[in-house]
Structure 1
Amino acid sequence: MVAPEARPKRGPKPALTLPAIAEAAIAVADAEGLAAVSMQRVAADLGYTKMSLYRYLPGKAELVALMLEQAIGAPPEPAPGGWRAGLEDWARRLLERYLVHPWAVEATVGKRPLGPYEMGWMEAALAHLRELPLTGAERLDTIAVLAGHGRMLAQQSAAMLGEREMTTAMAAVMRAHGDRFPHLPAAMADAGQGADQAFEYGLARILDGVEGLVSRR
């Protein structure tokens, strides 16, 4: 015997929540990019009017901040193994979040609201640097350089321009203007066609620099 179809329940729509709003906005950004996100679009996807969202958020800047908080999530627990291992783990985990949500790179640029999760990531990185002979400015700059390195590689990955694609594009230019680039062919031939290593190479060199500075002090 086939059960009868359930009739739709009458009554008011369930109230919106900030996590639900963020989730809907993230779905739009993941599929179409951050530019596609608007208060009106998110409200429509949730089945509400644009004015309904303004009861929860003042505007798009706050919506994007909420999206970023939910996308990057809580900072990781400190990894064992010393300050360098801790920062390596921190940087790799941050890159993972950016690769899952490429629009988050754009969302971190410019004047904008900050949330506790984003600041928590800064706090987590500073915890690894707390015992090093660095000034407060140097510690913050170290974090900025590490985060910037990850954002740049995530942005490059999102644009589908990895090392292999870049090599192909550069080879085409060298074929047309080879006499202008005497050093590039040898460097590219020596680099080979291995997997992308730019992030790990840059991460190691940044931390080498910090380690060298610490050792000199």
Structure 2
Amino acid sequence: MKRGRKPTIDAADITRAAIAVADAEGLAAVSMARVAQEMGNATMALYRHVKSKDELLALMADAAFDEPPALPDGGWRDKFEVWAKALLAGIRRRPWFLQIPLGGPPSGPRSLAWFDSALGALDDTPLEPAEKVGVVMSLMTFVHGEAWLSVALTQGFETDPAQFSRQYAQRLRETVDPRRMPALAKIVASGVFDVDNLIDADDMAAEFDFGLHLFLEGVAAHIGSRA
């Protein structure tokens, strides 16, 4: 019995297979050979559609998220809150995204759709086009930074929970010299770090909301000055 020909593959198929590998085993496991194995193809067959691992990583970065969320009716602020929380949720779902080197500004179709969505939230504001781009890029930077911090801290907690217990407060008291670090010494003395677990999902969500609130307050002030 003759074997049938293997189905034709394309870059989208390869990207989906690479994402499946990253989801299951982490970004370090992704290679052209490993993805070919996942697909049941020869490695060289992949190179006909994706020229290099760098190109594959760029495709993965663009396809890592779903389409941007439907934004609510109302002002730019409510829209930004929905957009930012959806982006954060997408990164947390696929934390390997944070390990992909940034090769340039958004250029893939999915990334551009998210960019367009955030820019559209500013349609009814008096900001100039360049200002709108600056605001959205700053919001992206904030969300990516918060996501990186929460993912890194969560992974650190899973490795060594004791580092995030009251032992941390004790180490600070032993290390922080009030004469050299007076502001930090006051915070330590206030008992902020005297908790059994510094990593708590509710606390991390509240901290993100607070940081987002501060960012949006700054944008609101700038929009007010432009008006």
State yes or no: 1:64 paired with 2:54: no
The correspondence for 1:26, drawn from 19, 22, 33, is 19
Task: Output the CA distance in 2 between the equivalents of 1:205 and 1:133.
Answer: 21
CA contact (8 A) 1:84 1:207 kept: yes
Task: Output the CA distance in 2 between the equivalents of 1:206 and 1:83.
Answer: 13
State yes or no: 1:195 paired with 2:206: no
Offset from partner CA, 1:71-101 (integer Å, 9 cap, x none)? 2132222322211000110111111110111
Shift of 1:103: 1.4
Report the counterpart of residue 5 of structure 1 in structure 2.
Answer: none
State yes or no: 1:119 paired with 2:112: yes
User: Residue type of the partner of 1:179?
Assistant: D
CA 1:74/1:148 → structure 2, altered by over 3 Å: closer, same or farther? same
| Mean Cα deviation higher: 192-201 or 202-211 | 192-201
CA contact (8 A) 2:169 2:194 kept: no
Offset from partner CA, 1:94-145 (integer Å, 9 cap, x none)? 1111011111123362348821110111111000112212222221121122
CA contact (8 A) 1:62 1:113 kept: no
CA contact (8 A) 1:65 1:113 kept: no
Report the counterpart of residue 225 of structure 2 in structure 1.
Answer: 216
The correspondence for 1:175, drawn from 173, 183, 191, is 173
CA contact (8 A) 1:64 1:107 kept: yes
State yes or no: 1:105 paired with 2:103: no
| Mean Cα deviation higher: 16-25 or 81-90 | 16-25
Shift of 1:188: 4.7
Task: Output the CA distance in 1 between the equivalents of 2:101 and 2:211.
Answer: 21
Shift of 1:186: 4.0
Q: How many residue pairs end up in the alignment?
A: 209
CA 1:212/1:41 → structure 2, altered by over 3 Å: closer, same or farther? same
Point out which structure has higher relative CO (alpha carbons under 8 A, 6+ apart): 1
User: Residue type of the partner of 2:169?
Assistant: A
Report the counterpart of residue 51 of structure 1 in structure 2.
Answer: 44
User: Residue type of the partner of 1:152?
Assistant: G
Kindly report the root-mean-square deviation, in angstroms, between the aligned alpha carbons of the 2 structures: 2.8
State yes or no: 1:78 paired with 2:76: no
TM-score normalised by the chain length of structure 1: 0.83
Task: Output the CA distance in 1 between the equivalents of 2:130 and 2:194.
Answer: 36
CA contact (8 A) 1:167 1:188 kept: no
Task: Output the CA distance in 1 between the equivalents of 2:126 and 2:38.
Answer: 51
CA 1:177/1:30 → structure 2, altered by over 3 Å: closer, same or farther? same
User: Residue type of the partner of 1:185?
Assistant: V
Task: Output the CA distance in 2 between the equivalents of 1:74 and 1:175.
Answer: 47
Shift of 1:46: 1.3
CA contact (8 A) 1:126 1:139 kept: yes
The correspondence for 2:32, drawn from 39, 48, 58, is 39
